[in-house]
Amino acid sequence: MKITKDLYQGSLTLLTDFYQFTMAYGYWKSGKAEQEVVFSLFFRKNPFQSGFTVAAGLDYVIDYCRNFSFEEKDLDYLTQMENSNGDPTFESGFIDYLRHLKFSCDIDAVEEGEVVFPNMPLVRVKGPLIQCQLLETALLNIINFQTLIATKAARIVLAAKGDSVLEFGLRRAQGIDGALAASRASYIGGCTSTSNVMAGKLFGIPVSGTHAHSWIMAFDTELEAFEAYAEAFPETTVLLVDTYDTIMGVKNAIKIAKELREEGNELKGIRIDSGDLAYFSNKAREMLDEAGFPGVKIVASNDLDEHIITSLKLQEASIDIWGVGTKLVTAYDQPALGAVYKMSAMKNIEGNWVPKIKLSQQSVKINVPGFHNVKRFYFKGKAIGDMIYLEGMASKDQVTIIDPIDPTRRKRIDTLQAEEQILLVPIFKSGRKVYNRPDLKDIRQRTIMRLEQFDKTHKRLTNPHIYPVGLEESLHELRTDLVLKSKPINYMDQ
């Protein structure tokens, strides 16, 4: 789809934090720019107190990397930068190095629509240190937001229990970029359509929408407004019934439904955007059925999210379609995913990979070292556990996975009885794209299919059962050894 090129007509390489350039310059000065390293992008906690997360944003990453280069106007800007002494921040030799820099990394990633969990790599980048470092901010920006919104959408779709969910958050989204990315990620998460026409054009998402209250107010009466709208869209009429009085609005909609039927068409639906949605939807359903229009759909909106939808379902509200905006596209109850990008291995002068570990006073912030991947195990079609392991590990008849935060939580998996799926797939090899990008509809279908492979207890909206994800035993031992070697022992009596 070449998303970033279509939107911005060029490289976005300067879309990064300034400290990435200061480090890049330092690497160049110290002769480490071309030293080969591995970075992993991962998150530490499922968002929204969820039991799962849905990966999204890879397509944007592909476009970003394909366009990764420094245009002359970028280099001019960097050349003009000055330090506190008024001297150039970067030497001309460094600017020239950037001018000839060509993207050459290997990138492996979890495909969009895949269900993922904390501590597992979503993206693994291998290549020259300077390139891997310069990719950090943009990759986090892309993956963090779209994964967050796709997860929120999936939770809302689960709450709707098979009903259609329409995304129409454009006017409440965080700017143009946020709106487009949110529409795309919402569709990946399972929404059936968007109100965002540009998102429809760019991504091929079905677009939907009816009319606003202003349409009703533009006419002398509600009935006149309904008649005019039905005349304009006789085959797809959906009427907003709560501008003045919801019950009277339904009565007027029924009058229009009768007129449409006489002309060989049917009223497709009504929308309620305020008030007691359970009461008014049930009353509207009763009125429509009594009038002979059981096929008319009832659409509900008004600051909906998964919790409100669940409540309305428990109240047996007669709602067929859910319109969700603000609380979806803004990730209302959690503004950020918090994914991080950490170096996990570096090649030494002998050409051997040396695992790298970042320590912290908080055990949750200790990264997983080495050149690793993720393997998911299935038994009778259901996911039973994910193993983070070192590439090149020999096959075993039985593996033990160990929780990276709580090593007392372990799970043994009989690999002879289980099916396996390797989650990180090749995207770029030596800077060349090797991945066939799927259609967005196929990505959306992957989300639906993958969620079906997890037990319903992991998909509960509140207090979900924790899905087992852990380090393979030898990787756990490597990590533990590196922690003990790198960190002095603190005796509690000191």
| Residue 491 forms part of a structural domain | no
- Provide the CATH number for the domain around residue 220: 3.20.20.70
| Residue 493 forms part of a structural domain | no
Q: How many domains does the chain have?
A: 2
Q: Are residues 180 and 302 in the same domain?
A: yes
- Provide the CATH number for the domain around residue 135: 3.20.140.10
Termini Cα distance of the chain: 60
Q: Are residues 137 and 216 in the same domain?
A: no
The predicted pLDDT at position 17 comes to: 97
Q: Which tokens sit at 235? A: 């085959």
The model's pTM: 0.95
Q: Which tokens sit at 428? A: 């770029």
Identify the CA nearest to 106 among candidates 39, 25, 13.
39
Q: Are residues 315 and 339 in the same domain?
A: no
| Residue 437 forms part of a structural domain | yes
| Residue 316 forms part of a structural domain | yes
Q: Are residues 312 and 382 in the same domain?
A: no
| Residue 494 forms part of a structural domain | no
- Inter-CA distances, 269 with 168, 256, 318, Å: 17, 11, 12
pLDDT tens digits in sequence order for the chain, 494 residues long = 455 445 555 689 999 999 999 999 999 999 999 999 999 999 999 999 999 999 999 999 999 999 999 999 999 999 999 999 999 999 999 999 999 999 999 999 999 999 999 999 999 999 999 999 999 999 999 999 999 999 999 999 999 999 999 999 999 999 999 999 999 999 999 999 999 999 999 999 999 999 999 999 999 999 999 999 999 999 999 999 999 999 999 999 999 999 999 999 999 999 999 999 999 999 999 999 999 999 999 999 999 999 999 999 999 999 999 999 999 999 999 999 999 999 999 999 898 999 999 887 777 888 999 999 999 999 999 999 999 999 998 889 999 999 999 999 999 999 999 999 999 999 999 999 999 999 999 999 999 999 999 999 999 999 999 999 999 999 999 999 999 888 766 655 55
Q: Are residues 12 and 42 in the same domain?
A: yes
Q: Are residues 454 and 351 in the same domain?
A: yes
| Residue 492 forms part of a structural domain | no
Give the three-state DSSP class for 132: helix
From CA 131, how far away is CA 150, in angstroms rounded?
A: 28
Identify the CA nearest to 139 among candidates 61, 65, 39.
61
| Residue 106 forms part of a structural domain | yes
Q: Are residues 379 and 311 in the same domain?
A: no
Q: Are residues 192 and 133 in the same domain?
A: no
The predicted pLDDT at position 5 comes to: 45
From CA 305, how far away is CA 327, in angstroms rounded?
A: 6
Of 311, 329, 347, at which residue does a domain stop? 329
Of 312, 329, 346, at which residue does a domain stop? 329
Name the residue range of residue 293's domain.
157-329
Q: Are residues 114 and 182 in the same domain?
A: no
Of 298, 329, 360, at which residue does a domain stop? 329
Residue type, 414: D
Cα–Cα–Cα angle for 400, 421, 434, nearest 5°? Answer: 130
Q: Are residues 131 and 162 in the same domain?
A: no
| Residue 366 forms part of a structural domain | yes
Q: Are residues 72 and 143 in the same domain?
A: yes
By the 8 A CB rule, do 397 and 414 touch?
yes
The predicted pLDDT at position 362 comes to: 74
Q: Are residues 216 and 359 in the same domain?
A: no
